[in-house]
Amino acid sequence: MTARKRLLLNSLFFFVCVAIATAAILYNYSYKVCWRCDTQDYYQRGKEFVCRAETELQETGIDFLRLAAERGWPQAKILLAESYSNHLPDGYQPLDHHASRCLNGQLGDNAVAARALFNDGYQALRAQKANDSQLLYNMGLLYKATILAGDQPDQLALQCFEQAAEAGHQAARLHLARHFHQRSDYPRASHWLLLAAEAGSDPAPALQLGDYHFYGRGLEQDYNKAINWYRQALKIAKQQAARQPQAERAAVEDEPRARIDMALRKLQQNRHLTPLTLGYRVVGDANRFEVLCDGHDGPIGTIERDPQGLVARLASDLELPVGVATAHKTFGSLDAATDWLLQTYGRSRHGSSKKFYFQLQR
């Protein structure tokens, strides 16, 4: 073989070895190369890699997140800021729980970097998602903790909480209720308590509304309405404690039950103070009667005979008053059935805090 041929073969062999080595390197480190990736691609791949078990992949994921943040991707800035912060405010919810848990501990504590990234990320993201309730609530917490910059952080926090609450955020509503309650601004507190209680997920706002009615704070003093809210709190507490042991269920239900008993005692005391006289009539035949009473259009109820006795039934357009469990009841005499209907109507129409005298009209 001539020297020229050997040179050509050696050159070819060298280039083949270089190609194989390059291919192996590219294969082993291809995860570090993102061909034609845009900023969002770097963010998504960064979130994926930081959750891998391999340290090298985690470091690459952090590099990708930093690149996405440098290119202005707000979620990447916020994710890095959360990792730089060892003490986030109570109630703060990461925008991406999974990625935040994976990244936790991979970056050291850096309050300066966290503050800058939080400010840039949240301001940019708010411009994109103005009505995101969790985003607004997080911003309120960060303003209150002076992590986000602002001339009047407390006022900016309050604005964010109010916007989050208006967008339906339950924790923001409860936060505002506590805020105004502590300042004795009961009308504004009751506004947010009412919205929070209507969600039916927490007994606390219903219990507080009951107290407002019981003591007349920001709402009219009305023991019946107080009992209604206490009962709603008890219902929610029962639902939440349904799978707990008996002792724990009883402990959860103790507070609303005690409030109900307290309000019922007040009603019983007041019944003797405000007597009210109402006229009534009974019309019908031997088997069916209708009872009519002052202040109500149409019958307040009916009384019908059946094999068990006389069944008194409250009219369907009347609400059951506090302490009455059913809209119908069986009696042995017409007088007893009529008296039950009249008393039930009186309490439904005028509340349980009054004592009633009924006068038969011809």
pLDDT in tens, 165-217: 999 999 999 999 999 999 999 999 999 999 999 988 889 999 999 999 999 99
Residues 6+ apart with CB under 8 A from 347: 321, 322, 323, 324, 354
Is the pLDDT score of 303 beyond 90? yes
Q: Answer whether residue 31 shows pLDDT above 50.
A: no
Neighbours of 29 (CB within 10 A): 11
Residue 72, in any domain of the structure: yes
CB 146 within 8 A of CB 182: no
In a domain, 254, yes or no: no
Residue at a domain's end among 77, 99, 128: 128
Summarize pLDDT for 266-289 with one digit per residue, the tens: 887 776 656 788 899 999 988 899
Q: What local confidence, expressed as pLDDT, does residue 4 receive?
A: 62
* Residue 21 falls inside a structural domain: no
Determine the Cα–Cα distance for residues 229 and 213; give it in Å rounded to an integer: 9
Tell me: the pLDDT tens digits for 125-167? 888 877 789 999 999 999 999 998 888 999 999 999 999 999 9
Count the domains in the chain.
2
DSSP string, 185-245: -HHHHHHHHHHHHHT-S-HHHHHHHHHHHHHTSSS---HHHHHHHHHHHHHHHHHHTTTS-
Q: What is the pTM of this model?
A: 0.66
Beta bridge partners of 283: 290
Indicate whether 315 belongs to any domain: yes
Range of the domain at 50: 36-128
Of 77, 97, 128, at which residue does a domain stop? 128
**CA distance linking residue 343 with residue 349, whole number of Å:** 10
Instruction: Note the pLDDT of residue 10.
Output: 57
Asked whether residue 172 is assigned to any structural domain, the reply reads no
Q: What is the pLDDT of residue 189?
A: 95
Q: What is the pLDDT of residue 26?
A: 38
Is there a domain that residue 160 lies in?
Answer: no
